Amino acid sequence: MKRGTYVLIIFSIFFLLILVTVASFVYIGLSKPPSVKARSYLEFRLSGEVLEKSPGKTLMDVFTGQEPLSMFDIWMNIRKAKVDRRIKSLVLRLGYLQCDWAKIEEIRGSILDFRKSGKKVYAYVEEAPEFDKEYYLASACDRIVLHPLGWMGINGIGGYVPFFKKALDKLGIEAEIEHVEEYKTAYNMFTEEGFTPAHKKMMQFLYSDLFSHYVKGLAEARGKSEKEIKELIDHGFFQGEKALEAGLVDKLLFEDEFEELLKEKGGKIYKMTHRQYLKIKPESLGLNKGKKVALLYGMGPIYSGEGAYQTMGSATVARWIKSARKDKSIAAIVFRIDSPGGSALASDVIWREVVLAGKEKPFVVSMSDVAGSGGYWISMAAHKIVAQPPTLTGSIGVISGKFNMARLFEKLGITSEKITYGKKSDMFSPFRKLTPEEKRVLKNEILWIYDQFLTKVAEGRNMSKEEVDKIGRGRVWTGSQAKERGLVDEIGGLSHALELAKELAGIPSDEEVRLIVQPKKPSFFEAYFGRRLPGIKSDLIPELERMLSAYKLLEREKALAIMPFWSALE
C-alpha cells in the first residue's frame, strides 16, 4: 500500500473521531434535562412530516435542526403538560403538516383533553394558503390568532388521482394485474386511464364522510351552523380582517402582541419548546409508572423478514409481540398501526403472533392514519380495535401480477435468450406477457388467499364469511364507516386504546401504567449516523415515487394485501 493511501486512511479516521466527539458533546448537551420555570408555556412548532414514532436525530439533523415530528412525543408531552403545574398554557405554531386526517384527529383529541385541566391553548398562524387539516386542529384551541397580514385558506378537501396507463403504453410497459375484487384498485393507476365505477364510488364515499366530519367539527368548535361553515369553505380564502370578520380567527396580532396575550394580565412568562420538554421524564410528574403495558408500533409497508423504522418487517414485529406475550410482567399489549399493508404472507406471520398473544393477555389495536389491507390483516385478531373517524381501514382483498416490459426492451434494443426448466419458471419475467392459463392460475391463487382473509376476519370479528365478503372485496372505509360495519369496535385514539387495555387487564382507570415501547430509542450511532431504510427514496414528485415503490413492492412480494391508494386525502 502506498504512503499516500496510509495518510488518507489515517486522516479519514481522525476526521471521523472528531465528528463523533463533536456529536457526542452535542448529544450530551441536548440530553440534559432543562429547568422548567413556574409560569411557563409549552410551544409546539407543528409543520412538516409527522411520523408515528420518530427514529431520532441523525447527525445531519443535529446540525440542520431538522427532524420529523413524532406523534408519540407530541402525545406524551401534552399528557405531561396537563399535570405539570409549571406549565400554564400550550401554544401551537401551525404550518403545513404532512400527514393524513387521523393524526390530526389524534393531536386534536389530546388538545381537547388538555383543556379539561383548565389551562389555555392558543394557535398562532402567520400565513397558510391551504389550511384545512391544520385549521381543523386549530379549532380545538381556546383562541386562534392570525398575523394581521396573514392569508388563510380553508377551501375543502379533494384532489386529483393520477393514472399512468397512457404513459406506460408510450414507454412500452404493460401492467398485468389480477385483483380480488372490484374495489381492490391499488394498481388501477397502471391499468386504467381513469376511475372504474367501483373505484369512483369508493372514493366519493370516503371523501364525503371525511368532509362531513370536518364540517361538523368546525361548526361545533366555532359556534356556527354546518351551512355557514360550508359557505365559508366555498369562499375559500381569507386575509387578515376578512378572517376575523368571518369568525374564523379570534384575534389579529403581531408576534410581540401575541406574547403579551399569553401573559393574560399576569407577570413574566417563560417559553419551553417541545424539543426541550421531551427531556422531562414523565415519571417525574407521576406518569408512566405502575403495571407494564407493551406499546408496539407497526409503521409503514409490510415486508417479509427484518424491518426498520417506518417499515414493518414481519420477523421484527412478530418478535416484539412474542416477547411481550412471554413477559409475565406485561399486563396487556397495545398495537399502534399506521400501515397501508403489503405482503400477504408477512401480514399472516404477524397475525399469528397476535392470535397467540391474545390467548394469554389483552390485546388492543389502535389505528392511526391508515390500517388497511395487510394493515387490517394484522389487526383483525385483536380483542378490541380502536380507530379515529378519518382512519382509512378495511380494504380486505388481494392483488398480484407483474410489469411486462417486452416492448420497452425492444425499443431500447435490449434482446434476451430464454433458458428455462419448468413450464412456468419464467412466469414473472418482465420479458414476456402472461399466458391466459397463467392469468387463470394467478387469479385462483389470489382467490384462495382472499378466502383465507375472509375466514380470518370472520373468526376475529364474529361474523360470517358472507358478511365479510359484502364489506370486503378490496373496499376501503373510514374509521366511522368501519365501526358501523363491525370492522372496528370503538372510535378514539391511543389514549382510549390504553384505557381499554387497562380495563381488559383489570387495572383501575385512575391508575397509571408503565409503557414498554417498541421500537426502542435508537442507539447513539443509529440515531446520529442514521439507519438506511429499505425501499426506494427519491426526489421525484410523490405520484412517481409511489409508482416506483409500487413496482418495487410487486417485484419483491408476489401476493399483496395493500391499500388501493397510498396518497393522503387533502
Domains, in order of start, for the chain: 34-155+236-283 (3.90.226.10), 289-522 (3.90.226.10)
Quick one: pLDDT at residue 267? 83
Q: What's the pLDDT score for residue 13? A: 58
How many angstroms separate the Cα of 410 from the Cα of each of 174, 181, 405, 416, 432?
A: 13, 33, 9, 10, 11
Q: What span, in angstroms and rounded, lies between the C-alpha atoms of 346 and 325?
A: 19
Nine-digit cell at 483?
Answer: 365501526
CA 400 to chain centre: 24
Q: Which residues contact 420 (CB under 8 A, 6 or more apart)?
A: 426
Residues with a known catalytic role:
373
Instruction: Supply the pLDDT for residue 547.
Output: 55
Residue 548 is predicted with a pLDDT of 58
Measure the CA–CA gap between 519 and 278, rounded to whole angstroms: 17
Radius of gyration of the chain (CA): 26
Q: CA-CA distance, 460 to 448, in Å (whole number)?
A: 19
pLDDT for 539 equals 40
Task: Please give the average pLDDT of every successive group of 10 residues along the chain, which has 570 residues.
Answer: 55 54 48 85 95 72 68 98 97 95 98 97 92 96 96 91 94 94 91 95 96 98 98 95 97 95 87 96 96 97 87 95 98 97 95 98 98 96 98 95 94 94 92 95 95 97 97 96 98 98 97 95 56 39 55 67 58
Strand-strand pairing, 87-98 and 69-70: unpaired
Closest CA to 323 of 347, 349, 346, 356: 356
- 512 CB neighbour count, 10 Å cutoff: 16
Separation between Cα atoms, residue 234 and residue 39, nearest integer Å: 41
pLDDT in the model for residue 266: 75
Residue 20 CA to its chain's centroid (Å): 32
Spatial separation of the C-alpha atoms in residues 365 and 321, rounded to whole Å:
12
Q: Provide the 3-class DSSP secondary structure of residue 35.
A: coil
* Rounded distance between C-alpha atoms, residue 429 and residue 421, angstroms: 14
Q: Which of 236, 238, 218 is nearest to 227 (CA)?
A: 218
For 161, 190, 515, the CA distances from 565, given in Å and listed in that order, are: 9, 12, 33
Nearest of 24, 260, 222, 231 to residue 136 by alpha carbon: 222
* CA–CA separation, 261 and 346 (whole Å): 53
Largest distance between two CA atoms of the chain: 84
Q: Where are the alpha helices (DSSP H) in 264-366?
A: 274-277, 314-326, 344-358
**pLDDT value at residue 563:** 77
Using left for φ > 0, alpha for ψ between -120 and 50, and beta otherwise, residue 236 falls in left
- pLDDT on residue 99: 93
pLDDT of residue 120: 97
Task: Please tell me the pTM assigned to this model.
Answer: 0.89
469 and 459 Cβ atoms separated by less than 8 Å: no
